[in-house]
Chains A and B, each alone.
Chain A
Amino acid sequence: MRPVSANSSSGDLFKHAVLAVGSIFILLPFAVMIATSFKSPADIASGALRLFPTEYHGFANYAEALSATPLLRYMANGVIVTASIFALQLLVALPCAYALAKLKWRGRDTVFGLILFCLLIPPHAVAIPVYVLFYWLGILDSYTSLILPWTISVFGIFLMRQFFKTVPDDLIDAARMDGISEFGIVWRVMLPTALPAVTAFGIFSIIAHWNDYFWPLIVLSSEDYYTPPLGVATFRTAEVGYVFGPLMAAATIIIAPLVLTFLLAQRRFIEGITFTGMK
């Protein structure tokens, strides 16, 4: 709780000042990105620090972004991949979290310890072995290769387990008395109760996989499966060198869905984070 003191308003002022400086620092690149996406090549090349374009070139940049590469195709790939990853992550994480939080079995704490340990393994460390494995399986350069490595989210299991711990045991017992099976409890009782946490996890997962550049770059060779970050990168390799206007327009287009999703889910997201005591 916040202590009520005489100088709390000046304290608030200070806090807000710090936050304002921080948010300017974080938002400035985005502002520059959006501003650049409306500027003409000459304007960009002039190097002057200007927020608003001297000559409006937005339409041309966005048209270029959408026509020079199949950006919409890349975004559809992004939707397919991130949505599949999230759905499969839930399919795995919810039953696991339920078993870890609410069922009693020998070795449960050990297993949970191992799961926490897995949180420490960076995905880049196992990238090469997974790549080799997928090569042997012959599934490189496919949606499967983009989705499969991420279906088990240790973070998701951990987050949902922490949330499920707060669900009262009586509720689960009542469901058992009513005749709901254990899997039924996961989907029909725990999932609806845990929606804020699911939303929070969803945002983490979707942002991470929508923006992922590393893994698609490794497993993909054909442009058919390119996800938005790879697609944006193709601008840079165009023979004319850096075309910043269309590049920034493309970047703006691909982060727009993320920003919209976050704004829509914002309240539940914050609820989810505070609920699980992660804040």
Chain B
Amino acid sequence: MAEVQIRNVSKRFGTTTVLENASLTISKGEFVSLIGPSGCGKSTLLRIISGLEVQDTGQIVIGDRTVDDLRPSARNLAMVFQSYALYPHLNVASNIAMPLRMQRLNGFQRLPVIGRFLPGSATANDGIARQVRDAAEMLDISHLLERKPGQLSGGQRQRVAVGRALVRDPAAFLLDEPLSNLDAKLRVHMRTEIAQLHRRLKATFIYVTHDQVEAMTMSDRIAVMMDGDIIQVGTPDEVYDQPVDIRVAEFIGSPKINVVPVDIEAARGMAVLAGAASGVVTDPSAVSLGIRPEAITVSSSSGLAAGIVEHAENLGSEEYVQVRLDALPEIVITARAGHGTGWTRRIGSAAHVSFDGNRALAFDSAGRRVACRAYAPRHVGGKAVANG
């Protein structure tokens, strides 16, 4: 395993710029997710690291070696593709063995039948077979070794693809949306398995996904990409609680963060939300507040802003309530209510929302995060706010 550095990498296809000066350092043994909306350049960046695509400018450094002049196979990286990309004509054992055979056997030793009798190939083949068995055991696919990929389920193919990556003991694993072709249940299961695999191997993982739950649950750090730029790198908590940009705030978190436009009162710097003082003091450049659903309280009696319950979803462990504000009819606020609060029976009735001023995030007109803090907790109607 090794550290992977991406230094000022740019890439354009024709006239479209896909990556613009992207830089990121992934430390040895770290699990980093690249996350962002479709088309933002995640796969392109991964393919540049692997050497399958060549960057226009910038360097890729693996360990302490600049690898820009190395072929993909010489970079000693392993890649797991979204479509698994198994050799359809080879059985599982041969699929997993392929990278090792290419590394350890020469062209003559790889020939069918006679290759096996050439000097040195017996020992090498034994070693390869043993490693294939070990990998298969680790991934629980020992019973499938003789099958062709066409005879496997999606989850099993996924494991074979991971196995093929595993055997070569790479400097880093590159995974491009490896779970997106699986059904929801299997995806959750494989998520856990990949996270456990990472802990066991202590290897460097670079994991591309557009599923923020995968990124949040598996990663040591998350790199959020937008339009070819890495706009924030941080631990899952940092990215969730301290997004640097409104696009990050909106991309991370499910349900999505609530964004409401605000006016700033000149005297105190108080953000005014739908005509009511919000209890949050912000930088004068702020134009909107972002508040996560769990920081919002919904009540039938009193609150900061009144509205109508438009929809409610009962997830069992909690309920999500959507309230359309009377004063800002284009805004629907999503709030998290506790278990058994019964909002699903009150759709169409009046409700009031308020929020925890300590958890509000303020953004300026360019979407950048600006300073904000809770002003005077006692002014916030109907809501006891913890003092920050």
Contacts and interface: CB of A to CB of B under 8 A. Distances in A.
B88 A179 contact: no
A202 B99 CA distance: 32
Interface string A145-163: 0000000000000000000
Interface in A148-192: 168, 170-171, 173-180, 189, 192
A178 B50 CA distance: 11
Nearest to B82: A170
Interface residues of A, number: 15
Interface in B339-376: none
A170 B73 contact: no
A279 to B, nearest CB: 22
B102 A173 contact: no
B50 A177 contact: yes
Nearest to B98: A178
A168 B102 contact: no
Interface in B58-93: 71-74, 77-79, 81-89
Contact of A170 (B74, B77, B83, B103): B83
B52 interface: yes
Contacts of B99: 177-179
Given A170-B81, A193-B88, A176 B102 contact: no
A176 B85 contact: no
A7 to B, nearest CB: 38
B87 A177 contact: no
B52 A176 contact: yes
Contacts of B86: 171, 174
Contacts of B84: 170
Contact of B79 (A171, A174, A180): A174
Interface string A37-70: 0000000000000000000000000000000000
B89 A168 contact: no
Contacts, number: 57
A170 B164 CA distance: 14
B82 A177 contact: no
A179 B102 contact: yes
Given A179-B99, A179-B102, A173 B73 contact: no
A177 B174 CA distance: 11
B182 to A, nearest CB: 16
Q: What interface size band does chain B fall in?
A: 20 to 34
Given A177-B73, A178-B99, A171 B87 contact: yes
Q: Which of B82, B86, B102 has the most CB of A within 10 A?
A: B102
A174 B81 contact: yes
Contact of A168 (B47, B50, B85): B85
A170 B175 CA distance: 12
A248 B88 CA distance: 46
Contacts of A179: 73-74, 99, 102-103
Nearest to B89: A192
Nearest to A194: B89
A104 to B, nearest CB: 11
Given A173-B52, A173-B79, A178 B102 contact: yes
A180 B100 CA distance: 11
A178 B73 contact: yes
B79 to A, nearest CB: 5
B87 A170 contact: no
Contacts of B72: 173, 176-177
A176 B87 contact: no
Contacts of B52: 173, 176-177
Contacts of B50: 177
Contacts of B83: 168, 170-171
A147 to B, nearest CB: 26
A189 B103 contact: no
A180 B85 contact: no
Interface string B283-295: 0000000000000
Q: Which of A171, A174, A180 has the most CB of B within 10 A?
A: A174
Q: Which of A170, A176, A177, A193 has the most CB of B within 10 A?
A: A177
Q: Which of A168, A179, A180, A189 has the most CB of B within 10 A?
A: A179
Given A179-B103, A180-B102, A173 B87 contact: no
A170 B102 contact: no
B89 A177 contact: no
A171 B161 CA distance: 11
A275 B122 CA distance: 40
Contacts of A195: 89
Contacts of A168: 83, 85
B3 to A, nearest CB: 20
Given A173-B52, A177-B79, A180-B102, 17 more contacts: A171-B83, A171-B85, A171-B86, A171-B87, A173-B47, A173-B79, A173-B81, A174-B85, A175-B87, A176-B72, A177-B78, A178-B98, A178-B102, A178-B164, A179-B102, A189-B87, A192-B87
Instruction: Name the 5 nearest CB pairs between A and B, nearest first.
Output: A179-B73, A179-B102, A174-B85, A192-B89, A170-B85
